[in-house]
Amino acid sequence: MNHDAIATALCGRYTKLAEGAGYLESNWSFPHDGTLIGAYIVAVDDGCVRVTDDGDIVFNAAVAGADITRPRAARYRALAEEYGLMLGDDGIISTTCSLDELPYAVARYMQAAGAIAHASLKHRPRDEERFERVIGTLLEAKFGKRVTRRPEVMGISGHQLQFPFALDFDGDSPALIQTISADDDKTQWKAVYEAGGKFSDIRSARPDLRLIAILESAKDTEKAGRYFADAADVVVYEGGALLLAA
Q: Are 107 and 194 contained in the same domain?
A: no
Q: Identify the CATH number of the domain in which residue 20 sits.
A: 3.30.1460
Query: What does the pLDDT look like over 84-125, one tens digit per residue?
Result: 999 999 999 999 998 888 888 988 999 999 899 888 877 876
Position 245 in a domain: no
pTM of the shown model: 0.56
Position 242 in a domain: no
Q: Are 10 and 113 contained in the same domain?
A: yes
Query: What does the pLDDT look like over 4-45, one tens digit per residue?
Result: 656 665 566 888 888 888 888 887 787 766 778 889 999 898
Query: What's the 3-state SS for the chain?
Result: CCHHHHHHHCCCEEEEEECCEEEEEEEEECCCCCCEEEEEEEECHHHEEEEECCCHHHHHHHHCCCCCCHHHHHHHHHHHHHCCCEECCCCCEEEEEEHHHHHHHHHHHHHHHHHHHHHHHCCCCCHHHHHHHHHHHHHHHHHHHHEEECCEEECCCCCEEECCEEECCCCCCCEEEEEECEECCEECHHHHHHHHHHHHHHHHHCCCCEEEEEEECCCCHHHHHHHCCCCCEEEEECCCCCCCCC
Position 244 in a domain: no
Q: What is the mean pLDDT of the chain?
A: 87
Q: Are 152 and 134 contained in the same domain?
A: yes
Q: Are 163 and 70 contained in the same domain?
A: no
Region 159-185: what's the mean pLDDT? 91
Query: What does the pLDDT look like over 129-150, one tens digit per residue?
Result: 778 888 999 999 999 999 999 9
Structural domain range at position 32: 3-121
- The reported pLDDT for the residue numbered 194 is 92
Q: Which residues, 6 or more positions from 245, have their beta carbon under 8 angstroms from its beta carbon?
A: none
Instruction: Among 103, 121, 139, give the residue marking a domain's end.
Output: 121
Burial 142-152 (b: 16+ CB within 10 A, else e): eeeebbbeebe
Instruction: Among 121, 146, 167, give the residue marking a domain's end.
Output: 121
Region 216-222: what's the mean pLDDT? 90
- The reported pLDDT for the residue numbered 5 is 59
Q: Are 100 and 193 contained in the same domain?
A: no
Q: Kindly tell me if the per-residue pLDDT of 246 is higher than 80.
A: no
Q: Are 114 and 192 contained in the same domain?
A: no
Query: What does the pLDDT look like over 222-232, one tens digit per residue?
Result: 998 899 888 89
Instruction: Among 106, 121, 136, give the residue marking a domain's end.
Output: 121
Q: Are 132 and 208 contained in the same domain?
A: yes
How much of the chain exceeds pLDDT 70, in percent? 92
